[in-house]
Structure 1
């Protein structure tokens, strides 16, 4: 028997807002978190802009112990801990100390790469023969599972504590992995999410591929243009998003607030066949992923009224819209409302799916479908498929009932999760 799974906590550390209130305000008003990065200009990057969370130094002190702060130089770890702890507290779950682990609570918190700046610092120390100066936290800051290990220790979770990694699909995948663990009775609560480091050592490879926009260095907020005819590449970003998933029975017993319900979803790969590659999705796999998510969630294709797409502001946006249309068998004015979070935060890589899932769920809470910025000049191939009115330019007062969120990552891997407005 599959148990109902609900969302009882949210946390976010995004380029356009740290914390739910700031993030929701930015989304509702189309406020961008993409900024000029002087360091990228100094290093002769073509694209000198990025979406990076602005974390005040004094904020970090309230999330880490003095020992953990010693030599801390892993931005993704900082973002992930902030988002994860905030989500836990938002769910009104306590953090107990000097007690047995919470055997019913676990963590699946993903990342693409962790502690790049710490790696660089460590390499220089080792090459200079100063290995003793690495410090006691260098290993946990640079191992991929460092983020789940940090959160597991802070929260005292005794169920599964692990890190997943599937490029841009990581965050959405983590939600489905946590969902399955609760639905099958292996846990009562799972903190799920993902994070991504900031900086030139993460973003440099993409700049070298020339897939980032280079003409907006003096106008950063206009650079990320999902679904636009003038889109010229994705803007790199970073941050973290986190959700507390919980069995319906546990949430009701605690009297917890419930943001939405997770109905199900699907994960697959295109096998880098049929037009798919290490960097591009196989359209057949994308459509199968959406269709399988709908089947797994036991809903009809016509039930979906809102979509939060992957939509990176590249030439693949039109293909993604075509895939959604084919999978749902809907087009024109019958197509659901669709929005793209990347217009305001850029492409946050491994953190993209989790931040965008937080954004998706906030729409249930606030009774709106937020608008798409920089997409006023919609790509003609998109307009051939769906009506322009289904791509709101400004935030709409609309209560989503069932929302589909998908992510498509490097390696030709896909994930689609289905959220539903909470109803007892």
Structure 2
């Protein structure tokens, strides 16, 4: 018999807020974290706006020593540690001291980590200054740097690993953690994902012309999921973290339970059937959603809200079509649907975890956050769903089941089903 898995801790460093109380207030308010970035303008980027978490020096000093901060220049490591430690503290869990806690683990993914550190290293090595690189180069540039850092801080003795699946990374990490706990191989897993920010991370996307350039003077209008005037995704960064725990453990220590993970599905379109490195195979997306619903043991009609991937590109209408066909719901029967990217941009490999945190807050606190900048709904979307299914203002109402999905470069997909906790 598989264990029931619940969520007992949340942490976040998002472009519109850092920390769960501020983030909950920000998404209810519809607060944008997207701003004009002078360094992108100086480097002649077409898109000169982006989302960077407002991490102050005071916040950093809550999580790092002065020595650590002098050595760190990987923003992804900073964001990941802030979100991960907050989630652990939020769950009310102790830090292991004398020996590792064999029941606690970390699955924390990333896509691009330590790019600034790589740049510094290349210059120093080319100049024959290899001995001046410092002792943290490997930590800041290896994919598992954040999971290793967090595992050491918390003293976890179970699996410590990192996954990397582009935009699906965070949701995939959560599902990997879910499976490990459900199968009895761990009691608690800190899951999440992070991503660096900056021109060396975002430059490739600007070169691909997949980011908007018309809104450099009005950055908060730039991210326009589901809009007819959408012209590309706004780059973002940050980290999200969730503590997943067996229900028995959570009840035994009287932990606060934000919600339950019913199940989910991970797949790939194999870059076949219209799928490619940058475009999803529509059949695989639909199958991922259907299998997630099946594994969760619910009916399509049970879903109250879809927290979509919805990047503000030409693929938004295709995603809506996939949801409609997979759930066999359309028009006024379609669930509510929103996109956090309208407020924070596309946080790349951090997107899934930050958006999962937002979805769990919606579930726990009974609200639906507004989806910004889609007053001019794309006609291909309005032909499928009723316009009032997309909230433009905060909606306060009971939420029982949420479907959350992310679809990433490489034609990879992940969908998870959250439900309000039922004892």
Range class of TM-score, shorter chain: over 0.9
Does the alignment pair 1:37 with 2:37? Answer: yes
Deviation string 1:69-124 (CA, Å, 9 cap, x unpaired) is 33210000000000000000000011233x11010000000000111111111111
Q: Which residue of 1 aligns with 2:310?
A: 311
The residue that corresponds to 1:55 in the other structure is 55
Aligned to 2:332: 333
Structure 2: distance between partners of 1:180 and 1:35: 38
Structure-2 separation of matches of 1:321 and 1:142: 37
Alignment gaps of 5+ in structure 2 = none
- For the residues of structure 2 that align with 1:336 and 1:231, how far apart are their CA atoms? 22
1:376 aligns with 375
Does the Cα contact within 8 Å between 2:274 and 2:282 map onto a contact in 1?
A: yes
Contact 2:363 2:402 in 1 (8 A): no
Deviations along 1:360-417, one digit per CA (max 9) or x if unpaired, are 0000222101111101110011010000111111110111111000000000000000
Q: CA deviation at 1:67?
A: 4.2
- Report the equivalent of 1:356: 355
Match of 1:224 in 2: 223
Relative to the length of structure 2, the TM-score reads 0.99
Q: Shift of residue 66 of structure 1?
A: 4.2
After superposition, residues 170-319 of structure 1 pair within 5 angstroms as 170-319=169-318
Aligned counterparts of 1:279 and 1:270: Cα–Cα separation in 2: 11
Alpha-carbon distance in 2 for matches of 1:28, 1:69: 32
Aligned to 2:230, the other structure's residue is in SS state: coil
Do the aligned residues in 2 keep the contact of 1:402 with 1:421 (CA within 8 Å)?
yes
Query: Does the aligned pair in 1 maintain the 2:85–2:150 contact within 8 Å?
Result: yes
Please list the CA deviations of residues 155-209 of structure 1 after superposition, one character each: whole Å capped at 9, or x if unmatched.
0000000000000000000000000000000000000000000100000000000
> What secondary structure, in the 3-state scheme, does the structure 1 residue paired with 2:45 have?
coil
Is 1:19 the counterpart of 2:11? The answer is no
In the aligned structure 1, how far is the partner of 2:241 from the partner of 2:285? Answer: 24
Partners of 1:378 and 1:421 in 2: CA distance: 30
Point out where structure 1 has 5 or more consecutive residues left out of the alignment.
Answer: none
The residue that corresponds to 2:3 in the other structure is 3
| C-alpha RMSD of the superposition | 0.7
Pair 1:64-2:64 in alignment:
yes
**For 2:71, what is the secondary structure of its paired residue?**
coil
1:83 corresponding residue in structure 2: 83
Asked if the contact 2:363–2:401 (Cα under 8 Å) also holds between the matched residues in 1, the reply is: no
CA contact under 8 A between 2:195 and 2:237: conserved in structure 1? yes
Equivalent positions of 1:57-136 (< 5 A) are 57-97=57-97, 99-136=98-135
Q: Secondary structure at the match of 2:99?
A: coil
Q: Distance in 2 between the 1:165 and 1:311 partners? A: 20
Say how many residue pairs are matched.
Answer: 423
In the TM superposition, 1:117-156 aligns within 5 A as 117-156=116-155
Give the TM-score taking structure 1 as reference length: 0.99
Alignment of 1:419 with 2:411, yes or no, is: no
The answer to whether residue 346 in structure 2 is matched with residue 347 in structure 1 is: yes
CA distance in 2, matches of 1:280, 1:156: 40
**Is 58-67 or 115-124 further displaced after alignment?**
58-67
